[in-house]
Chains A and B, each alone.
Chain A
Amino acid sequence: MAIKFTEVSYQYSSPDGSLFDALKNINLDIAKTGEFIALIGETGSGKSTLVQHMNALMKPSSGQVEIYGIKINHSKSKKQKLTPLRQKVGLVFQFPEYQLFEETVMRDIMFGPRNFNISKEEAKQRARKAIIQVGLDESYLERSPFNLSGGEKKRVSIAGILAMEPDILVLDEPTSGLDPKGRDALIDLFTLIHNTYHKTIIIITHDMNIVHQVASRVLVMREGELVFDGTSEALFNNESLNKWNLEEPDLIKMTKQLEQRYSISMRPFPKNIDQLFHHIKDVI
């Protein structure tokens, strides 16, 4: 196991001293390789808080997170070196504004690798590679990160983490605020990284189509609790989908309508248009 949550709870304390339970008794195992996990749930359900525990940015109020063998819990243990974990588990934050600061995109992407003592030359190489990976061209490297559009900033911030070459890639709402084309390009990129290097990828998203298309495993958060952990097929057949305020993906909605209309069965649900055609062909 790369990351293991054992009875993890986290409380935010507000200035007036009251506590707010953002995570309640979370148990979770995440494998080193091969998983493509979608983390979903309403805004405020604790998704971002959960992923910040995955690279030791936050320490649980109670319970324990184990990341690559290093145990992290509330006790004020002697200085643990946590920074190396952040190279292993790369976390891309939701808002790129919180991290872009260098004069050029090149330097900003190099910032992460340089912090992990990668040589300048190597970091430059990685920056060139990463910028192409996120679907921008090399001319962007010389631009200022502040003159980019929202979507471009987002991609640069992702490139900044990719260049650290983490084992596990965690992305907090990477597709929010992107146009459909940019969104598809990013999802293709994550799928490619996943397929080529078998890296575990965890993305937070509200887009059920993405969940349906790419996720091999889905986690559903609700009011600080992890209420579902299973395959996407199991999720979309789950009775509680409505209770969790989750929608069905378009493809499944359509398939269900076809099934009803023509009293046929098209199980398992198609994952993409091709599979849908196959089903239709079979029926005909």
Chain B
Amino acid sequence: MNNIVIGQYIPGSSFLYKMDPRSKILALILLMVTTFVLTDIIQILVLLSVLLVILKLGGIPIGRIVKGLRPIIVLLFFTFTFQVLFIKTGRIILDETLHYSFYTILLAVGVVLFWMITKRFIKFKISYFLMMIVGILSIFMYYPIGDPFAQGQLVIYTGGLQGAFFIMVRLIIIVTLSTILTLTTKPTDLTLGLEQLLKPLSIIKVSAEEIALIISIALRYIPTLLDEANKIMLAQASRGVDFKEGKLKDKVVQIISLLVPMFIISFKRSDELANAMEARNFVPGNRRTRLHILTWQTIDTITIIITAITIPVAILLRVMLG
């Protein structure tokens, strides 16, 4: 339960922590735009290395960034595969016939089964998964045992590899950028910054304050609700529910026994919260003073200027090379 961390904030004191959340959010958006404008692999690698330097200076351990990448690993894998398979430009670097016969398919299934059984004991899950994929491909390519009833062609172009690599780096940059933001900014500061940035929306009758309030309440209560869910599971487990096992019908009852108390407790909590807010005379939309006031410093101005400049530079590079 505890590894689902919504506010990923880890305390620190580097310049990234001293910056105003507004400038961090703006810089994030600007850099994302730049990332999408860039089309050259060298340039995007330069951007990535600049980011790595910022991480180093900002005292953020790379491990935390890698952790942030974990949820998108499946996405990375699929984009990589599609890019490799479907971009047909540049030189051919691999052209092999895949033999689908009874025996090769049997072998492949065997490899998958072996992988499924052994993956529990292997520490590097992702590398192991890739090894399995390579293993299956090489069976189809290099061991044409048996009569193939179908054949396929695996053709990989340099363009495909380059494109795949490029997209991967781009995704990694985007995730790294947002991870830097969430690691160095408290959720409360984040919503406060967002609120201030969304203020102009009040012209079209969208209340930035309410949106920010909703976000901060949600952020505040997610860990609490996870905690409650844990307690409910324990309470039901002591009545004989085995959440790890059960047929489909049992599973449905198990989930109901978790969800119903969950809803009831959430409603109760929100009722209590509403009462507590009302008791302190909270009126939505009224002007309120703040305990923490955001302060815009020179470093924020500099950051915005530098990140803003990257966009025209990127466009210029693109036009010149394009």
Taken together as a complex, chains A and B put the C-alpha atoms of A55 and B235 apart, in Å, by 11
Do the beta carbons of A161 and B264 come within 8 Å of each other?
no
Q: Are B264 and A97 in contact (CB under 8 A)?
A: yes
Residue in chain B with minimal CB distance to A86: B238
Type the 1/0 row for B214-240, where 1 means its CB is closer than 8 Å to any CB of A: 000000000100001001101111111
Inter-subunit contact A164/B239 (CB<8 Å): yes
CB within 8 Å of A: which B247-305 residues: 256-257, 260-261, 264-265, 268
- Cβ of B118 within 8 Å of any chain A Cβ, yes or no, is no
Contact A57 B239 (CB under 8 A): no
Pick the residue among B234, B241, B265 that contacts A97 (CB under 8 A): B265
Q: Does B5 contact A (CB under 8 A)?
A: yes
Q: Would you give the shortest CB distance from A123 to chain B, in whole angstroms?
A: 12
Size of the B side of the interface (Cβ < 8 Å), in residues, is 23
Q: How far, in angstroms, from A93 to B232 measured CA to CA in the complex?
A: 10
User: B10 — which chain A residues lie within 8 A by C-beta?
Assistant: 16
10 contacts between A and B (CB under 8 A): A15-B223, A83-B237, A83-B240, A97-B268, A98-B228, A98-B261, A99-B261, A101-B257, A112-B240, A160-B239
* CB-contacts of B1-18 with A (<8 A): 2, 5, 10
Does A90 have its Cβ within 8 Å of any Cβ on chain B? yes
Given A13-B2, A14-B2, A52-B234, residue A97 in contact with residue B261 (CB < 8 A): yes
Q: Report how far A24 CA is from B237 CA in the complex, Å.
A: 25
Task: List the 5 shortest-distance A-B pairs measured between CB atoms, nearest first.
Answer: A115-B240, A101-B260, A112-B239, A98-B235, A99-B235
Beta-carbon contacts under 8 Å, A87-132 to B:
87, 90-91, 93, 95, 97-101, 111-112, 115-116
A146 within 8 A of B: yes
Q: Once the chains bind, are A100 and B261 in contact (CB under 8 Å)?
A: yes
- Scoring A residues 140 to 172 as 1 if CB is less than 8 Å from chain B, else 0, what string do you get? 000000100000000000001100100000000
Q: Which residues in window 1-34 of A have CB below 8 A to B? A: 13-16
Question: Contacts A16-B10, A99-B232 known; A86 to B237 CB distance under 8 Å?
Answer: yes
